[in-house]
Amino acid sequence: MTLWSMITVVSVVAIVSGAYMSYLQSKKADVDNDLKSEIEDMKQRISTLESIVTDKKYDLKREIDSL
């Protein structure tokens, strides 16, 4: 193998591995963003449920149903 062939192979390997690392980082960022979005949605749902359960009408209806 000549010197120039070796330099070419090393360069191609470096470029491909750099591109692959960038791909992996972007996939990880996508997953992190999806998880953050899902957590925010769940927080909103919990907040809605808390407001329903702590509503006085909900408590009154539960008491009436138990009679």
Are 43 and 51 in contact, with CB atoms under 8 Å apart? no
Residue with the bigger pLDDT between 58 and 45: it is 45
Instruction: Give the dihedral of Cα atoms 12, 13, 19, 21; nearest 10 deg.
Output: -170
Q: 59 is in which domain, residue-wise?
A: 3-66
Domain count, the chain: 1
pLDDT score of 61 more than 90:
no
Residue 14 has pLDDT above 80, yes or no: yes
Averaged pLDDT for residues 13-20: 95
**3-state class of 53 per DSSP?**
helix
Residue 34 pLDDT: 93
Query: Which tens digits make up the pLDDT trace of 21-56?
Result: 999 999 998 898 999 999 999 999 999 988 887 877
